[in-house]
């Protein structure tokens, strides 16, 4: 029986174009190995016959399960219960001088990052397949997300993080009951060790590097943006890029709604990396293969020196007519404070990297007040309080009297 979702027709390798039937392959292309990431194929004619804009307008589902016809899930009986997606899209009118700026706050997901979109789909698949334990390598958020969903589903969870992952993320992993391996090395080292352990112990692999279902979950953020803007696609969408899985999903989501006739175009996608780790930007600009790098950035969630979804991401950005850019850490930290203070949305460094990229694009004039722009905010600022303190400044020390407060306010010229 085809259990990979009613409308999935197969899987296509992004490197050699070989197509697999549902059930024929689990993770990556048999011929290409790790380089052969798979793309999930659907029968869009069939989907178009049974799924319309009117269905969405009528839908009362306040999660990303409102897009079931476009998801690779065979049975609704095994859907995870943690409510994911349908996050707010705030109109941040006038911020950065842009009357038509929108901020998609994906810190409002169950474990406070966009990763939950991907995990929920992977866990629905894992439940259909009856797996007994789940695992992933993670810079932090993917692990936290998997740990949350595993806890809700009662499954053991094994997470491999680099030893220098921010402590709030490690706390979140531990409190959710995951077994956490703090690997003495980079995310790349954690990835390699996790791959070995997953093969040795037979766990289900949530790593976006190999699991083709994760992009399918991440694409729902683009579908929501379309709906929340009444199917008027914005001109530009700014996306933070680490491994490239979010960008791949964002492109796929916009392209699918266009294919179904729900929208009229795909927006220009602008991928933003940290200057201290921008191998996808380099591959994009240099029209070349990816050269892995040593990551050096405070934006730990995009500190991915050897991205695996880079081909899909680069193709998506190109097909959209967009581009890749990179911003330095001080711009990311400044963006953290500026976004929080102008909108009330508090993001971690990777979460605000797209906003920092947009700020730079406004300064250089490549985004103007005529543009309708959406910026993805992908993770909560509470996940990295150390960076937040670097971005935030200091508390005002005072004694216990009102005079102390008055003096302090006068010093700050606030009264």
Residue 301 contacts which entry, ligand PLP, Zn ion, none (Cβ below 5-8 A, type-dependent):
ligand PLP
Q: What is the DSSP string of 274-322?
A: ETTB-HHHHHHHHTS---------S-GGG--SS-SSHHHHHHHHHHHT-
Specify whether the CB–CB gap between 331 and 230 falls below 8 A: no
Residue 211 binds to ligand PLP (criterion: CB under 6 A) = no
Residue 215 binds to ligand PLP (criterion: CB under 6 A) = no
Residue 311 binds to ligand PLP (criterion: CB under 6 A) = no
Specify whether the CB–CB gap between 308 and 34 falls below 8 A: yes
One residue of 12, 115, 169, 219 binding ligand PLP per CB under 6 A: 115
CA torsion sign, 69 to 72 to 78 to 84?
negative
To Zn ion, the closest distance from the beta carbon of 27 in angstroms equals 12
One residue of 63, 172, 195, 301 binding ligand PLP per CB under 6 A: 301
To ligand PLP, the closest distance from the beta carbon of 172 in angstroms equals 12
Which residues in 177-196 contact ligand PLP (CB under 6 A)?
A: none
One residue of 3, 9, 15, 89 binding Zn ion per CB under 5 A: 15
To ligand PLP, the closest distance from the beta carbon of 299 in angstroms equals 8
The residue assigned the tokens 């921010």 is: 166
Residue 244 binds to ligand PLP (criterion: CB under 6 A) = yes
Residue 273 binds to ligand PLP (criterion: CB under 6 A) = no
Which residues in 330-359 contact ligand PLP (CB under 6 A)?
A: 348, 350-351
Residue 302 contacts which entry, Zn ion, ligand PLP, none (Cβ below 5-8 A, type-dependent):
ligand PLP
Q: At what angle do helices 167-175 and 141-153 cross, to 10 degrees?
A: 10
Residue 241 contacts which entry, Zn ion, ligand PLP, none (Cβ below 5-8 A, type-dependent):
ligand PLP
To ligand PLP, the closest distance from the beta carbon of 365 in angstroms equals 26
Single out the segment in contact with ligand PLP by CB under 6 A; choices: 243-251, 338-346, 361-369, 403-411.
Answer: 243-251
One residue of 245, 331, 352, 388 binding ligand PLP per CB under 6 A: 245
As a 3-state breakdown, the chain gives helix, strand, coil percent values, each rounded to 5, of: 45, 15, 40
| Cα 81 from chain centre | 20
Smaller CB distance to Zn ion: residue 32 or 133? Answer: 32
Type and span of the H or E element at 90: strand 89-91
The residue assigned the tokens 């700026």 is: 101
| Cα 289 from chain centre | 23
Residue 378 binds to ligand PLP (criterion: CB under 6 A) = yes
Closest residue to ligand PLP, Cβ-based?
379
Give the full edge-to-edge strand order of the sheet including 268-274.
Answer: 89-91, 101-105, 373-377, 236-240, 268-274, 323-327
One residue of 105, 243, 268, 278 binding ligand PLP per CB under 6 A: 243
Site string for Zn ion, 21-60 (x = CB under 5 A): --------x-xx---x------------------------
One residue of 111, 141, 195, 211 binding ligand PLP per CB under 6 A: 141
Smaller CB distance to ligand PLP: residue 6 or 304? Answer: 304
Residue 126 contacts which entry, ligand PLP, Zn ion, none (Cβ below 5-8 A, type-dependent):
none
Which residues in 7-46 contact ligand PLP (CB under 6 A)?
A: none
One residue of 161, 223, 302, 358 binding ligand PLP per CB under 6 A: 302
Q: What b-and-e string marks burial along 272-307, b requiring 16 or more CB atoms within 10 Å of the CB?
A: bbbbbbbbbbbbbeeeeebeeeebebbbbbbbbbbb
Q: What b-and-e string marks burial along 58-97, b requiring 16 or more CB atoms within 10 Å of the CB?
A: eeeeebbbbbbbbbbbbeeebbbebebbbbebbebeebbe
The residue assigned the tokens 């001109």 is: 235
Q: Give 346's Cβ-side CA count (13 Å radius).
A: 12
One residue of 2, 16, 93, 330 binding Zn ion per CB under 5 A: 16
Specify whether the CB–CB gap between 249 and 218 falls below 8 A: yes
Could you tell me which residues are beta bridge partners of residue 236?
Answer: 268, 373
**Residues within the interface to Zn ion (CB under 5 A):** 13, 15-16, 18, 29, 31-32, 36
Question: Which residue ranges make up the site for ligand PLP (CB under 6 A)?
Answer: 113, 115, 141, 208, 240-247, 301-302, 304, 348, 350-351, 378-379
């Amino acid at each position: 029986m085809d259990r990979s979702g009613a409308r999935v027709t197969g899987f296509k390798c992004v490197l050699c174009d070989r197509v697999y039937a549902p059930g024929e392959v689990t993770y990556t292309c048999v011929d290409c190995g790790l380089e052969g990431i798979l793309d999930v194929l659907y029968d869009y004619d069939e989907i178009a016959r049974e799924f319309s804009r009117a269905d969405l307008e009528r839908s009362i589902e306040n999660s990303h399960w409102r897009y079931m016809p476009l998801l690779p899930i065979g049975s609704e009986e095994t859907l995870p219960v943690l409510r994911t997606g349908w996050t707010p899209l705030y109109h941040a009118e006038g911020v950065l001088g842009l009357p038509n700026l929108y901020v998609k706050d994906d810190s409002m997901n169950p474990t406070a990052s966009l990763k939950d979109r991907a995990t929920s789909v992977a866990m629905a698949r894992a439940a259909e397949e009856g797996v007994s334990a789940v695992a992933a390598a993670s810079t932090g958020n993917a692990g936290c997300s998997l740990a949350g969903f595993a806890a809700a589903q009662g499954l053991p969870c094994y997470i491999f993080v680099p030893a220098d992952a921010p402590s709030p993320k490690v706390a979140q992993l531990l409190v959710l009951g995951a077994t956490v391996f703090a690997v003495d090395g980079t995310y790349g080292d954690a990835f390699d060790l996790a791959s070995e352990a997953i093969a040795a112990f037979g766990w289900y692999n949530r790593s976006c590097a190999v699991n083709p279902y994760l992009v399918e979950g991440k694409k729902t953020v683009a579908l929501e943006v379309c709906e929340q803007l009444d199917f008027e696609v914005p001109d530009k969408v700014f996306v933070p890029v680490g491994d490239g899985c979010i960008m791949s999903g964002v492109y796929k989501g916009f392209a699918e709604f266009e294919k179904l006739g729900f929208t009229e175009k795909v927006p220009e996608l602008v991928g933003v990396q940290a200057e201290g780790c921008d191998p996808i930007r380099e591959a994009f600009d240099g029209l070349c293969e990816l050269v892995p790098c040593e990551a050096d950035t405070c934006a730990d969630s995009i500190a991915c020196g050897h991205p695996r979804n880079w081909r899909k991401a680069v193709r998506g950005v190109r097909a959209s007519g967009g581009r890749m850019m990179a911003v330095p850490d001080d711009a990311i930290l400044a963006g953290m404070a500026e976004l929080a203070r102008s909108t009330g949305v508090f993001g971690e460094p990777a979460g605000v990297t797209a906003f920092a990229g947009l700020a730079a694009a406004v300064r250089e004039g490549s985004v103007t007040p005529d543009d309708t722009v959406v910026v993805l905010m992908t993770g909560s600022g509470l996940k990295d309080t150390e960076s937040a303190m670097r971005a935030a400044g200091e508390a005002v020390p005072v004694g216990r009297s009102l005079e102390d407060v008055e003096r302090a306010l006068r010093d700050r010229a606030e009264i």
